[in-house]
Chain A
């Protein structure tokens, strides 16, 4: 079930260069970035979505350790939730995504989405440290996006993130089981990944929660 090829394995050197990992190109399925930015966003505008995709790509990068937030579709998770459970965050997101573009132009002379990975990291670090002058609330916004990116990378795939279980595979979570044996709990055992959403089990598929 861990079929990352769903998002394609075509090497795209331009995308790889942008995220600064060209050296790892052969090993990493990366077409998802381009794929993702071509799709319509549900809540954010295309420009906002592109900025968000660029941010999450740096928070949990695609690299030698495998797929990251892009392949997990973490930005898509956030976009969908901003039209649902995280609705109260929509206005702060709009302000923050606009704020990061303004700040990037001011200090780096180009839109955030077009910066090198190194410059993107420098902008994000300024935000994290609340050192982004003229960008009020940058640190708070950074922390919100980081926590939502983690949710979108490691949540149940039912919510649109952790696509193809890339987040769970990254940290070695063997997945949802309805029974765990004594052997499944031994320190010297690594149970095989189940690659199932909770809602793939028939008893829970009857009462699905709101996926937004």
Chain B
């Protein structure tokens, strides 16, 4: 029998990007919160600029809960399992993957909320790809704007606005929806390389701008401004310039004395009472089982783990998994079409050794529906991004662009000359949900506790392939305009475990096709909320984290303002 703990108001499963934000509005409203986190606290002195450890040995994920339950993947129902990944894309820690993410903190564009109605209006309903289960969001960007704003100011997002209350500023993204005010801090600085790329984009008639990042560019709320030293991709910040929830919203919530953080807590199931409401969660810590009763359960782990936890939580009222009586848990899953990139070789050194992946220049002209798709055979598009970031092992592992062998003296001469002369772009492209792409429990692969891991069944479809080809061609054009002497396209791969996973507990008004309502609460279980990108129904062409955080704040805000109705 598990140890029964003292009941609390809200238990949050996972203190990462989403859970770490939600605890702040809750505790500020006087609600008692217990945060269960599978990882531990990590501090600035844990974040050594060590490429081998961070990027090749998968620290710290390699030793964590997440790594013992890496999802399996197959491309379709009839396919055998793909080779299993050895490192989970996300990490466990207070702050979760916001500790070592790139920190690009985008708002979605207005179109992303209304893909079905806008596509139908502009091009006709036949342009929605066959087999896609895409729906409009239950609200538009205007509904989410105040929450984006709150999160941007709490975690400290730097950037350049392109649209303040409808007034367009060409220094920022002119395609973004209206925002109430400027970012709290100016964008990360440009480099002579990013300026060269921006100039080339302007020559092509495109509209380049610096991207938004949850990285302080000056002293902000007790944290230092960015030192641009590098090692930010899969590395935490040694001066807390990165606005991880571990150094922003979580300590602020702790200061209210209403947040209790329990680390190394491995949540196994959510309990359901006789009334069909959730009553709390079971977790294991240090080999002991505990039951934490709560009036409200907020599930805030990653997409795969959110779905897995619901499916593992079977009860009389929910025999196929919690909140799954309509079979929607795990459905409408998709992962960002972000692998197919382009690399380029320049005839000179770029000095990209320092900087961070969020320090770059973006082009949004070919994203979403920012261009006319009448004569095209796909919907959506991609955001083009180049940045200053390089580390020695990966630099030496560069492509030789057919100009040298892979080893030996000729190779050595090539990398001596070119290791700092190449660049890799990051191309985030629209991905749609489809009938055939879903998550469930693997029938054979289990974690060390004997519980089945999450299984991904998914592959890109025709729309994603066409977007990828189109966007890669645009990137080649951009590099060539900047003087590249060679370019290479990388393959788009398949849809295995990734840092940009979406869906599985989609948000929408229709309970037949969505797990949570427009506020993030289960259609079937009124006191169960779900946080994170698992509620998102579209990807847009940009990083999901800020949207997941804005949604988490909104769900928490809804709960705080309607506490009696939802909690009792």
The answer to whether A187 touches B351, judged by C-beta atoms less than 8 angstroms apart, is yes
- With A179-B227, A187-B350, A188-B192 as contacts: A172 and B51 at CB distance below 8 Å: no
Tell me which of A25-33, A58-66, A106-114 binds B.
A58-66
Q: Given B44, B53, B408, B415, which contacts A171 in the complex, CB threshold below 8 Å?
A: B415
CB distance from B556 to the nearest CB of A (A): 34
Task: Tell me whether A156 and B229 are in contact (CB under 8 A).
Answer: no
* CB < 8 Å neighbour of A190 from B351, B392, B412: B351
Shortest CB-to-CB span from A28 to chain B, Å, is 12
Distance (Å) between the CB of A19 and the closest chain B CB? 10
Q: How far is the CB of B177 from chain A (nearest CB, A)?
A: 32
The answer on a CB contact under 8 Å between A209 and B53 is yes
Report yes or no: A146 in contact with B228, Cβ–Cβ below 8 A.
no
**B408 x A121 contact (CB < 8 A):** yes
Known: A173-B395, A177-B354, A180-B227. A187 touches B348 (CB 8 A): yes
- Which residues, 55 to 95 on A, are CB-close (under 8 Å) to B? 58-61, 63-65, 68, 85
B349 touching A187, Cβ below 8 Å? yes
Residues 186-198 of chain A, each 1 if its beta carbon lies under 8 Å from chain B, else 0: 1111110000001
| Known A-B contacts A63-B409, A185-B192, A186-B192; A173 and B353 likewise in contact (beta carbons under 8 Å) | yes
B419 at the interface (CB under 8 A from A): yes
CB-CB under 8 A from A185, the residues of chain B are 191-193, 228, 351, 354-355, 388
Q: Given the complex, which residues of A lie within 8 Å of B396, measured CB to CB? A: 150, 153-154, 167, 171
Q: Is the CB of A168 within 8 A of B50?
A: no
Is A156 in contact with B408, judged by CB distance below 8 angstroms? no
Q: A1-9, A42-50, A199-207: which one contacts chain B?
A: A199-207
Contact status A158-B193, CB under 8 Å: no
* Contacting residue for A170 out of B53, B407, B412, CB 8 A: B412
B121 at the A interface (CB under 8 A): no
Query: Which partner residue on chain B sits nearest A181 by CB separation?
Result: B228
B229 touches A179 (CB 8 A): yes
Does B435 lie at the interface of the complex (its beta carbon under 8 Å from any beta carbon of A)? no
Interface residues on A, range: 35 or more
B52 engages A150 (CB within 8 Å): no
- In the bound complex, residues from chain A placing their C-beta under 8 Å from that of B349 are 172, 187, 190
Determine if B305 is an interface residue (Cβ-Cβ < 8 Å).
no
Query: Given A156-B51, A185-B191, does the pair A172, B45 have CB atoms closer than 8 Å?
Result: no
Which B residue's beta carbon lies closest to that of A68? Answer: B412
* Shortest CB distance B383–A (Å): 23
Closest to B390 in A: A173
Contacts of B419 in A (CB 8 A): 171-173
Q: How many whole Å from B539's CB to the nearest CB in chain A?
A: 31
**Within the assembled complex, what's the spacing in Å between the Cα atoms of A63 and B409?**
7
- Establish whether residues A206 and B412, one from each chain, have CB atoms under 8 Å apart when the complex forms: no
Interface residues of A in 8-28 (CB under 8 A from B): none
Q: Is the CB of A171 within 8 A of B52?
A: no
In the complex, chain B residues whose CB is within 8 Å of the CB of A128: 406-407
In contact, A155 and B412 (Cβ under 8 angstroms):
no
Q: Which of A61, A121, A154, A203 contacts B393 (CB 8 A)?
A: A154
Cα A65 to Cα B395 in complex, Å, equals 17
Query: Is B150 engaged at the interface, CB distance under 8 Å to the other chain?
Result: no
Assembly CA distance A167 to B89 (angstroms)? 29
Q: A60-B407, A180-B227 are in contact. Are A155 and B191 (CB under 8 A)?
A: no
Q: Which residues on B sit within 8 Å (CB–CB) of A178?
A: 49, 227, 229, 238
Does B227 contact A146, Cβ atoms closer than 8 Å? no
A198-B348 Cα distance, complex, nearest whole Å: 28
Pair B408/A58 contact, Cβ less than 8 Å: yes
> Is the pair A203, B192 in contact by a Cβ cutoff of 8 Å?
no
CA distance A158 to B59 in the complex (A): 16
Are A146 and B45 interface neighbours, CB within 8 A? no
Of A158, A182, A188, the residue contacting B50 (CB under 8 A) is A158
- Contacting A at CB under 8 A, from B228-251, are 228-230, 238
Q: In this assembly, does B81 line the interface, its C-beta being within 8 Å of a C-beta of chain A?
A: no
B416 contacts chain A at the CB level, 8 A cutoff: yes
A137 at interface, CB cutoff 8 A: no
Q: Does A119 contact B (CB under 8 A)?
A: no
Task: Judge whether B406 and A172 touch: CB under 8 Å.
Answer: no
On whether the beta carbons of B229 and A177 are closer than 8 Å, the reply is yes
Which residues of A sit under 8 angstroms from B57, Cβ to Cβ?
A: 85
A61→B415 CA distance, assembly (Å): 13
* 9 closest cross-chain pairs (CB), A and B: A180-B354, A171-B419, A204-B48, A179-B227, A198-B48, A185-B191, A155-B52, A154-B392, A180-B228
Known: A65-B409, A185-B192. 20 other contacts (CB 8 A): A58-B407, A59-B408, A60-B407, A61-B412, A128-B406, A155-B51, A155-B52, A156-B50, A156-B51, A162-B392, A173-B392, A173-B395, A178-B49, A180-B228, A182-B189, A185-B191, A185-B228, A191-B353, A198-B49, A204-B45
- 7 CB contacts below 8 A, A to B, read A170-B415, A171-B416, A172-B420, A178-B227, A179-B228, A204-B48, A206-B45
